Structure 1
Amino acid sequence: MDDTAGTRRDVARDRIVDGGLIVIAALAGLYPAANWLESLPTLPLWVLHLDHIAGVLGCLALWWRRRFPLALAVGLVVLSTFSLSVSFAALIALFTVAVHRSARAIAVLAVGNLLSFGIFLVLRPGPTTSWSTSWSMLLSLQVTVIVCAVVWGLLVRSRRQLIASLRERAAAAEVEARFRAERSQHEARETLAREMHDVLGHRLSILSVHAGALAYHRGASPDEVARASEVIRENAHRALQDLREVIGVLRAPVGELPLPGVEDVIELIDEAQRVSTRVELRDDSEVTTGGRAVHATIGRTLYRLVQEGLTNARKHAPGAPVVVRITGEPGDHLAAEIVNERPSTSSTQPAGSGEGLRGLAERAALVGGQLEHGPTGSGGWRVAMRLPWPA
């Protein structure tokens, strides 16, 4: 609706400008031409009338100057060889060509206007005592007027091109800004999805193990049922807390959320041991005990690696022992691996979707690290990550 209204305003403005130029061309061409021609006593009256008719037609033809600028300019140049009344309309047509057409067309028509005026002076010399003085003065004036018309047209063209270029840049900037916003939203959704997978996958795997134990071991003692129920209750509560924290990423300013770090790995392993997963931690780097400092992003990535490794071991190799090894030196690298042995039972375990490993690979790539995973020679599984550790 706005575009249609804007187009209508542009069309109305162009028509008003064209009408004004027709009036100006008539006033500036017909009246001086009448005075010039009336000063020639030997000129027949029909020639004067013919000149005026050609001038009127030339001025009215300016209404189509935007649609046919080149053809109109050529026709007016031809008329101006014998009609003085059409001379100003020819200059307006030359200006229009300078706005819309190529430099070659502009040069040809500028020379054509100058030659047509010279032909007119030869056919109808004015009353003057010095023929050479009249020629030089009039031709100099005509050259000045033609140059002014061409320069004005080129300036108008440059301004329009500049405005069009600025509009294109503004449109491109708007598209780019929208693209950046969409990309930022996509990255935020991916980050949130990774956090939810890592956090909730860990908690829900614990719930699944203990709920399955309650379902299959119906002869469990009341104490065993109570312990399993307490583990389920506690981890369900923690899962809700973790979910609130993850969703808080969408609301809280950067730096206000309590995100896990490398020092929380020990708590993660203790929790796994409380739910009957045999986990051994071998930390030669001393990052989990606080002996050496590591960047928060690197530490959080390592924490997510251990969390995902324990979750997968609990899901796909229940009861199998797990070894967590952390090695490295500041200024070199920080390496961590989680290795679980062959499952103690031969029961079929649910196949994973691979989202956790893909998320870990993305986390490692974001900090300049690498992820490796695959089966071990003894039938277990190994997940390892190598991260940079600036001094």
Structure 2
Amino acid sequence: MTEYRWVLPSVLLGDGSDGRPAKRSTRDWIVDTVMFLAACGLTYLSLSDLAGDPRPLQMIEQVAGALSCAAVWLRRRWPFGLALVTTVVSSFLMLVGGAAVVGLFTVAVHRPFKFSGPIVLLSLVTLVPYVMLRPDRELGFWGAIVLGVAIVLTVFAWGVVVRARRQLVWSLRQRADIAAEEAKRLERERIAREMHDVLAHRLSMLSLHAGALEFRPDASSGEIARAAGAIRDSAHQALQDLREVIGVLRHPGADPDSPVPDRPQPTLGDLPALVEECGHAGMDVTLSTPGFDVPLATSAGGERRPAADPDVPQGLGRNVYRIVQEALTNARKHAGGAPVTVTVTGGQDDGVTVEVRNPLGGRQPMRLPGAGAGLIGLNERAELAGGRLQHGKTAEGDFLLRAWLPWTP
């Protein structure tokens, strides 16, 4: 199981991933302009309260107010520094209050609580000297304190809500992206598994034809030509399948947004062709499909119709085909020359049962490398389809592979 760890990117909150400021979007410019105008508006509303102050103090207030409003444009680059400086200065200068409110909101949005929390606490503490230096005759000391606390907490809560919403949207997008990538990965694995089964089948057929030439040096020129043609066709098909496998494995680095390549999948109606191909390679295979509209085909030949039972789900037919294909490949490897019986039975109510039986031994087992991965893959395929698979020696001395698959539309 792949584990993912998510770290909230700083670019989401206005900073570049390498520590440099992120380029402002159109929306960012609009928001920054609104914040600047808000700071200027609050500063303008406070000008009337400077009427009774000395002229030098009024000039200091106006200069500090103008500088603080201009500093609002730096809120994305230094949110904590802007909030810290404006909060401290606003404890004794009135016209810095507008920029202090914007700084508090900005640090709540752009920084976690370990940074924004101290700014809130500092804002609450600086209310006391501000109210003492500029008492409000209508509200009184405690009335002004309560109003200031309400403003600070409201602005801070607003910023926290905005930050939480951004984090939620970002996490949902990440989940969607990860789910899409996981779906693509699983689809690539499925396609690679399908191609592996086909490639193993092709290579075993190639080895079987080559073995026939090795053990029949006295074969006629016509037989040798047919065997050589079969080897050429099998090698060509194997190379095509190998190219498709490599294409699937290389696909993630090529274009992640393009669709994953796929190939036509076999169905239950392709079983006769599979059995006939094995018959041409010298295997003695008998196919029996009672209850299904699938033509009978044996190594001795038989009538064939192009379509399988249309009621059989495509996924079920594909799984049945792959199980039979791998079972025949194993029979060629370990019981060369032994007759093989393939039986497919079942229906919508009982599911589908696949049995592949062959005597143990045989004339000449094929010396092909293998580590039992084929049977492991078949067991995984059956479990993924909701079924089960068993294999082993029977009391009669045969090797039996039995798989049951549910009838899932």
Distance 1:114 1:296 in 2: 76
Candidates 88, 91, 113, aligned match of 2:127: 113
Q: What is the CA deviation profile of residues 22-70 of structure 1, one whole-angstrom value per residue up to 9, with x for unaligned ones?
A: 988987767853x314xxxxxxxxxx47745874796599569841745
Candidates 223, 233, 236, aligned match of 2:229: 233
Asked if 1:334 corresponds to 2:352, the answer is yes
Shift of 1:217: 3.4
Identical residues among aligned pairs (%): 23
Q: What is the CA deviation profile of residues 320-379 of structure 1, one whole-angstrom value per residue up to 9, with x for unaligned ones?
A: 222223333441122121121132447783342334323433432343222222234565
Shift of 1:7: 0.8
Distance 1:92-1:246 versus aligned 2 partners, 3 A rule? closer
Give the alignment of 1:211-250 within 5 angstroms.
Answer: 211-220=210-219, 222=220, 225-234=221-230, 236-237=232-233, 240=236
Q: Is the 8 A contact 1:319 1:344 kept in 2?
A: yes
Asked if 1:67 corresponds to 2:67, the answer is no
Q: Which residue of structure 2 aligns with residue 301 of structure 1?
A: 319
Distance 1:209 1:348 in 2: 7
Shift of 1:277: 2.7
Shift of 1:305: 2.6
The amino acid across from 2:131 in the alignment is F
Deviates more, 1:56-65 or 1:376-385: 56-65
Deviates more, 1:184-193 or 1:51-60: 51-60
Asked if 1:36 corresponds to 2:52, the answer is yes
Structure with the bigger percentage of helix? 1
Asked if 1:166 corresponds to 2:166, the answer is no
Q: Is the 8 A contact 1:69 1:96 kept in 2?
A: yes
Q: Which residue of structure 2 aligns with residue 126 of structure 1?
A: none
Aligned length: 350
Can you give the 5+ residue segments of structure 2 that lack an aligned partner in the other structure?
1-14, 72-77, 109-115, 249-258, 297-307
Q: Is the 8 A contact 1:284 1:327 kept in 2?
A: yes
Q: What is the CA deviation profile of residues 123-155 of structure 1, one whole-angstrom value per residue up to 9, with x for unaligned ones?
A: xxxxxxxxxxx9227888998788667655654
Distance 2:324 2:404 in 1: 13
Asked if 1:279 corresponds to 2:285, the answer is yes
Q: Which residue of structure 1 aligns with residue 200 of structure 2?
A: 197
Shift of 1:113: 3.3
Distance 2:79 2:284 in 1: 90
Q: Which residue of structure 2 aligns with residue 369 of structure 1?
A: 387
Q: Which residue of structure 2 aligns with residue 181 of structure 1?
A: 184
Asked if 1:87 corresponds to 2:89, the answer is no
RMSD: 5.1
SS of 1:319 mapped into structure 2: coil
Distance 2:272 2:208 in 1: 21
TM normalised by structure 1 equals 0.64
Distance 1:271-1:65 versus aligned 2 partners, 3 A rule? closer
Distance 1:266 1:8 in 2: 63
Asked if 1:315 corresponds to 2:314, the answer is no
Distance 2:281 2:38 in 1: 91
Distance 1:370 1:362 in 2: 9
TM normalised by structure 2 equals 0.62
Q: Which residue of structure 2 aligns with residue 96 of structure 1?
A: 103
Can you give the 5+ residue segments of structure 1 that lack an aligned partner in the other structure?
38-47, 80-85, 122-133
Distance 1:234 1:348 in 2: 17
Q: What is the CA deviation profile of residues 272-313 of structure 1, one whole-angstrom value per residue up to 9, with x for unaligned ones?
A: 344443334444445534997533332333233333222322
SS of 1:352 mapped into structure 2: coil
